[in-house]
Amino acid sequence: MFDAQRPGDTVDQKETKISARNVQVYYGDTHAIKDVNVDIESKSVTAFIGPSGCGKSTFLRCINRMNDTIDICRVQGDILLDGEDIYDKKVDPVQLRAKVGMVFQKPNPFPKSIYDNVAYGPRIHGLARSRADLDVIVEKSLRRGAIWDEVKDRLHAPGTGLSGGQQQRLCIARAVATEPEVLLMDEPCSALDPIATAQVEELIDELRNQYSVVIVTHSMQQAARVSQKTAFFHLGNLVEYGDTSQIFTNPKDERTESYITGRIG
């Protein structure tokens, strides 16, 4: 069973997990992210909202250096994870990505069995001492992904045979199997139907107990439902960042107000 209520849960919500300072991102000649400063708290859900092309996904991918895989992408400024600069030369991006997991827009299970999908990360990083150990990790991760009951009888069936919502929860289970500290989610529900979306949202709310979750979403209702903090991006700028309730009820910037009331987007 997953240990949902831990002592530290309610005590310290204000500790900063990730802090970005003057972050600039360029794709070739395009200035995609302009001077973004943001502090993301641990053990909470932070939502990035904004119209298409505003740079929210780009910024999300900076946090685990997935943009390194794109040749023309350049990142300037500092992103600190627990006070350490992740763009420092000493940091191995591969190690970083084990600490900062990622769930993608489209469910992307590997063409392997459900078990092998979840065991993939632990195997690569050598997290399991034995076969039995690995079994435990897989079960725990699948439970955290809230999909254990649905797949426990067919762990060796291919992961690609699951439904879209199940695949996405499998991908979340796969991401938490490496024991990350931060979980980045890039529009995790945009390819799912409303029921699967509700299941994933419920899961995100539970994950908050253990991880910092950063979620990019197009749905303002979703941001309002799952997040504690919300950041609004527009044309590469971070326009407004604050408590979700404040952003949605009492936005300070008129662009934010226009967006959440549906006038721009």
Partner 1 sequence: MPVFWLVLILLALAVAGYFIGRIRAVNSVGGDSRVLHSLPVYYGASAAISVLVPAMGLLAIWLLAQPILVERSVSGMIPSSLIPDGANLNLVMADVRRVAEGLNVAVQQGAISNEQARTLRAETSDIRAVLGQVGVALGQEVRPEVLRAAQSYRNLSASGALAMTVTVLALAMVGLGVSIRISHGQFRARNVVERVILLLLMAAASLAILTTIGIVFSMLFESINFFRLHSVSDFFFGATWAPNFRGDSDLSILPLLWGTLYISFIALLVAVPIGLFAAIFLSEYAGPKTRAIAKPLLEILAGIPTIVYGLFALLTVGPLLVSLFGQSGTLGVNWMSGATSVLTAGAVMGIMLVPFVSSLSDDIINAVPQSIRDGSLGLGATPSETIRNVVIPAALPGIVGAILLAASRAIGETMIVVMGAGAIAKFSLSPFDSMTTITTRIVSQLTGDGDFSSPETLVAFALGLTLFVLTLGLNVLALVIVRKYREQYE
Which residues in this chain contact partner 1 in the complex, by CB under 8 A? 64, 66, 69, 71, 94-99, 101-102, 104, 106, 108-112, 120-121, 124-125, 160, 171, 174-175, 178
Least spacing, CB of residue 91 vs partner 1, in Å: 12
Nearer to partner 1, 102 or 247 (CB): 102
Q: Which is nearer to partner 1, 97 or 234 (CB)?
A: 97
Helix 164-176 / helix 131-144 crossing angle, nearest 10 deg: 130
Neighbours of 69 (CB within 10 A): 9
Tell me the closest approach of the beta carbon of residue 117 to partner 1, in angstroms. Answer: 9
The burial class, CB within 10 Å (0-12 / 13-18 / 19+), for 165 is: buried
In the bound complex, what is the minimum distance in angstroms from residue 174's beta carbon to partner 1?
Answer: 7
Residue (38 or 171) nearer to partner 1, CB:
171
The Cα 110–Cα 106 span in angstroms is: 12
Q: What is the DSSP letter of 11?
A: H
Minimum distance of partner 1 from residue 239's CB (angstroms): 27
Structure tokens at 126: 């050598």
Asked if residue 247 lies in contact with residue 255, where contact means CB atoms within 8 angstroms, the answer is no
